[in-house]
Amino acid sequence: CENEKAKYEFYSLYEIQGGEQSFLNTYTEQYGQDWVSQRIEEYQTIEKNEIYPHITVMERILQEAESVQSYEEYREQIQEQYQTNQKISIFQSQDDYNTRSAEKTSKIYEELQLNGEMKLQQTLGLEQVLKFSFRDIAGVLFLLYCVGLGILQEKKRGMLSFLQVTYKGRKKLYSRKIAGIIVCAAVWEIASFLVCFLIGQMQFGWMDFSYAVQSVEMLMQSPYGISIGIFIAGYLVIRVFVYAGLGILLAAFGFVSGSFISVSALGAVLVGVGAGLYEQISDISQFSFFKRCNVWQLMRAEDFLGDYTYIRIGNEPISINWSIGILLAVLIGAYFIGKFFFAKDRKKVKKSRSKARKK
């Protein structure tokens, strides 16, 4: 790869500097006269518009290869850095957040056992999918559409009020509406991921799912001994859970407000404010709780499985996985609040109908 990269770098510079002697001497000293002569001959035959893409590809391959080859050295550096910090007075306080987080991180990597071997993979397709934030925005819009169509439109037309006084409307309507939103969220997440993932794999090459997840450069810091395949499965489970949770929250608010504008505003605030907090607050800030416990962070499922990320509570580093528990508590609360208002509406309908019968 290094030789291939050097070739295309030579072509790009030769295109600019031509036969300038100082330029040719530099490559002659490094690679020899025969190598330079051969490159000049090849330059006459290659497609000029392929030079820079080739350089980019070679740089990417070399970067990934270096990550794989230096992984054990990376783990050793974490241990060495922690031991070095322990000898420095400002890091010796056990009440310091940096000291505690470094201690936890050091212990995690010391005990980590990889699942499968490390090997250079065509991982760019997977990384592109993980970074594709437009899929999140489209997913929120899809959930708003489902809530508007399945709940708010029926409520506006009076169909929901009519169904509420039927036997199945009294017993199962609310739960089935929520279940429908959850199914829509799950279908969207899985289908959109698979489409983007397959496009990425066909464009950049197929990867072997049995190798350690640390083979993916973007996920090299993962504190878990899992394979690439298990990472993808776990990523989808977390994402489905988060989208289902957001769907429940929007649906419950829809039962409470009955307004599509209000539900849309809630979705925009949750995503927009969450994205702002995620980007602007530092990981070591006292306000990192707000950076990590919001919808936008929860949508970044790769942070849960591909990095050692903490939430700062005072001077105590808490695993980011606790934010999923917080989401679960919020969802349970949202579910029952929505159910309360649904039952309240049903009682109003029954009361008005009983009055109408008396008259």
User: Which residues, including other chains, have CB under 8 Å from residue 103's CB and lie 6 or more apart?
Assistant: 82
Q: Is the pLDDT of residue 94 over 80?
A: no
pLDDT at site 52: 61
Q: Is the pLDDT of residue 257 over 60?
A: yes
Q: Where are the beta strands (DSSP E) in the chain?
A: 310-313, 316-319
> Which tops the pLDDT comparison, 97 or 347?
97
pLDDT at site 22: 75
Q: Is the dihedral of CA 104, 107, 109, 115 positive or negative?
A: negative
Q: Is the pLDDT of residue 338 over 80?
A: no
pLDDT at site 75: 81
Going by C-alpha positions, the residue among 145, 89, 80 that lies closest to residue 109 is 80
pLDDT at site 145: 92
pTM for this prediction: 0.76
Give the mean model confidence (pLDDT) for residues 290-308. 87
Give the mean model confidence (pLDDT) for residues 12-32. 73
Cα(346)–Cα(174) distance, rounded to whole angstroms? 11
Give the mean model confidence (pLDDT) for residues 307-320. 82
> Which tops the pLDDT comparison, 72 or 268?
268
Q: Which residues of 156-169 are buried (b: 16+ CB within 10 A; e: fewer)?
A: eeeebbebbeeeeb
pLDDT at site 42: 73
Specify the range with the lowest mean pLDDT, choosing from 15-24, 195-204, 259-268: 15-24
> Which tops the pLDDT comparison, 342 or 272?
272
pLDDT at site 343: 64
Specify the range with the lowest mean pLDDT, choosing from 33-42, 198-207, 267-276, 347-356: 347-356
pLDDT at site 356: 45
Most confident option among 83-87, 137-141, 280-284, 316-320: 137-141
Q: Is the dihedral of CA 204, 4, 63, 24 positive or negative?
A: negative
> Which tops the pLDDT comparison, 46 or 33?
33
Going by C-alpha positions, the residue among 79, 59, 4 that lies closest to residue 35 is 4
- Residue 60 buriedness (CB in 10 A; 0-12 / 13-18 / 19+): middle
Cα(151)–Cα(269) distance, rounded to whole angstroms? 20
- Write the pLDDT tens digit of every residue in 163-220: 555 555 555 777 788 888 889 999 999 999 999 999 988 887 788 888 888 888 888 8
- Three-state DSSP at 298 gives helix
